[in-house]
Structure 1
Amino acid sequence: MGHVIDVQGVTYRNGKNELLNNISWQVRPNEHWALLGLNGSGKTTLLNLINGYMWPTQGQISVLGHRFGEVDLRELRQSIGWVSQSLQDKLYASDKAQNIVISGKFASIGLYEQITDEDQAKAEAFMKTLGCAHLWDREFRTCSQGEKQKVLICRALMAEPRILILDEPCNGLDLFSREKLLDSIEALSQRQDAPTLIYVTHHTEEILPVFSHTLLLRRGEAVRSGETAQVMTEDTLSGFFEAPVVVEQHEGRVYVRAGAKA
C-alpha cells in the first residue's frame, strides 16, 4: 500500500456551489496529519468524501490502497473511525461509559450483543490510555464534555480502525479540559497499534508535535500541505488567514495572534 489516503484533483460541487476545488492530498504510512481550516473551508465535505458518503464531481480518491469505484465502501468504512460531537446526541445518555465504548465493536447505538471478557479488557485498556478508566460504571450523561469525547474515541478504537479521524474534538472544552484531552490523544499516538490519526481543527495551538504533517484548507482549496514545521510559519499562516499574524511556539505547538511584529 503506497498511501493511506490519496486524493487526486478532487472537486465537489453541490448545484452551483463549489465546495472543494481541485484538492490533492496524500497521507503516507506512519504519518499523523492535522487538517486546519476555518468554518466553511470544506473540512466536513472532504471528510465525507474520504468516507465515501459523498462522491467527487471530479478527481479520484483511494483509501488504504482501495480506489473508490472499485471497492465496497461499506466494508472500507469499517477501517475508518470518525469521532464527531454529533454522535453524542445519538447515544443513550443512561448507558454506562464502558458499554458505549464496547458498542463501538458492533457499530451499534446501545449494546445488544454478548460481552466477552476480551471485550471488557480491551475497553479497559483503551480507557486507561485515554485517561478515562475512572468513568467505568458511570452513566454517559454524568460525564463532562471532555470525558464524553474520550469515551467516543475509545468507542471508535474498539473497531480497530486503521484511520481515526478526530473531528474538532476540543470544541466546547475549557482550557484545562482541552489540555487533558490533547494529552490523551498524544498518549494514543504513542501506542504501537495506533491508527493513522487525522486531527481536524481551526485552532493552530491544538496541533500537537505528533502531527508531523498539516493540510491548510481555505474556501475549498488546499492552500498548503506538508511537514508541519514548514507549513506553520508566520508568512504561510499570514497568507492563509489573509491577515498579518504573529506566530509563537511553545513546546512544539504554534500559537497565533493577530497583528504584525513591531
Structure 2
Amino acid sequence: MNAVELHDITFKRKGRTILDRVSWTIQQGEHWALIGANGSGKTTLLKIVTGYEWPSEGTVSVLGRVFGECDIRELRKTIGWVSSALESRLPQDDTALDVVESGLEATLGLYRQYSDEERARAWEALSLLNSEGLADQPFGVLSQGEQQRVLIARALVCKPTLLVLDEPCAGLDPHARRDFLDDLARLAEREDAPTLLLVTHHIEEIGGWVTRVCALKAGRVVAQGSTRDLLTSEILSKTFDMNCRVEFDGASYWLRPGLAHDTARTHSV
C-alpha cells in the first residue's frame, strides 16, 4: 500500500489554476521533501493530501483510502501534521502535555478528560524528544524551538502512518533550527518511524534522512526522484527561476546564487 497516490490533480480557485495535472506517489517508508518557491502550490498540495482541500480534477488516495469513498475525519487521525502556523492557534495557557494530548483527537485544545492510558501516551511522545521537562509548562511561554518539539510530540501521539511537516523551521533561530532538524533525523532513523514529508524552500534543511524529493514550480512538477538526482544546479535553477549552483559540504546541501555549475556530491543515507 502506498502512503500517497495522486493522479492528474488539478486545483482551481476563482478561475486561477493553482495545481496543474500533478501526479505523485509516495511509498510507505520513504521520506520525502517537497520543495518550491513561495506560491508554487506546496501548501495547496499539502491541504489536498491531508483532506482539507478537494481537487477540481483527478484522484487522491492516502494510506489506501480513496477520497470520496472514505471518512476523511477518521483518515486524519492517521496523519500527523506539524506547522509553525499551529503555534498561534493552540491555547497558549494549556500545558505542553495538554497540547500533546489534543493530538489524540486532532483538536485545537482539550474538549474531554483523557484517561491515564492516554496521558501516558502523551508522556511517551514527549520523552521521544527528550522534552518531558516541558510537560507542565504553559505552551505560550516556551521558546519557538521548544514549541516545535511539543508539536512533533502532538503529531506522534496518535502513532501516525504519515507525518507531514509544513515548513516547520519557519521562525526558528539557527541553533533551534539545527536542534529541530537533529530531532527529525533521529525520528527518521527509528524502525517504527512514519513516512515523513518535509515541505520547505530551504534546501539546507534537507538532511541525509530524506530519500526522495519533489520539486514544484507554478503548480506543476518540475521533477521528482532521489535526493541525489534532484538536488542539482540545473533542476533547482529551474525550480526557483534563478541562476544558482548547488554545493554539498558532506552533511548539507546549499543553494548559492551564481552560474549553474553542478557541484552536488553523493552522500550516505
Sort the TM-score into its range (normalised by shorter chain): over 0.9
1:52-85 C-alpha deviation (Å, 9 max, x unpaired)? 2222111111111122222122221221122222
Distance 1:248 1:130 in 2: 30
Q: CA deviation at 1:129?
A: 2.2
Identical-residue share of aligned pairs (%): 43
| Contact kept? 1:129, 1:187, Cα under 8 Å | no
The aligned counterpart of 1:129 is: 128
| Residues 1:244 and 2:214 aligned together | no
Whether 1:256 and 2:267 are equivalent positions in the alignment is: no
Matched residue of 2:5: which SS? strand
Q: Structure 1 pair 174/14, CA: closer, same or farther in 2 (3 Å)?
A: same
Name the counterpart of 1:218.
217
Q: Which residue of structure 1 lines up, in the alignment, with residue 267 of structure 2?
A: none
Shift of the alpha carbon at 1:20? Answer: 0.3
Give 1:73-92 correspondences, 5 Å limit: 73-92=72-91
RMSD after superposition: 1.7
Q: How does 1:10-89 map to 2 (within 5 A)?
A: 10-89=9-88
1:99 matched to 2:98: yes
Match for residue 174 of structure 1? 173
Say whether 1:110 aligns with 2:109.
yes
Query: Greater CA deviation, 175-184 or 187-196?
Result: 187-196
Question: What is the one-letter code of the residue matched to 2:39?
Answer: G
- Residue 247 of structure 1 and its aligned partner are, at CA, apart by 1.3
Q: Check conservation: 1:131, 1:184, Cα contact below 8 A.
A: no
Distance 1:112 1:235 in 2: 50
Query: Scaled by the length of structure 1, what TM-score is found?
Result: 0.94
Deviates more, 1:247-256 or 1:38-47: 247-256
Give the 3 Å change call, closer, same or farther, for CA 87–232 of structure 1 in structure 2.
same
Task: Give how far 1:124 is off.
Answer: 2.6
Match of residue 199 from structure 1: 198
Structure-2 change in CA distance of 1:51 and 1:112 (3 Å): closer
CA contact (8 A) 1:245 1:258 kept: yes
Q: Name the stretch that deviates more: 15-24 or 77-86.
A: 77-86
- Give, in whole Å, the separation in 2 of the partners of 1:178 and 1:23: 31
Give the Cα separation in 1 of the matches to 2:91 and 2:250.
39
Q: Whole-Å Cα distance in 2 between the matches of residues 33 and 22 of structure 1? A: 20
Q: Residues of 1 paired with 2:31 and 2:214: CA distance?
A: 11
User: Using the alignment, how far apart are the partners of 2:48 and 2:84 within structure 1?
Assistant: 19
TM-score by length of 2: 0.91
What residue number does 2:265 align with?
none
Cα distance change on mapping 1:261 and 1:218 into 2, 3 Å:
closer
Give the SS at the match of 1:4.
Answer: strand
Number of aligned residues: 261
User: Match for residue 149 of structure 2?
Assistant: 150
**What's the offset of the Cα at 1:261?**
6.9
Q: Distance in 1 between matches of 2:113 and 2:260?
A: 61
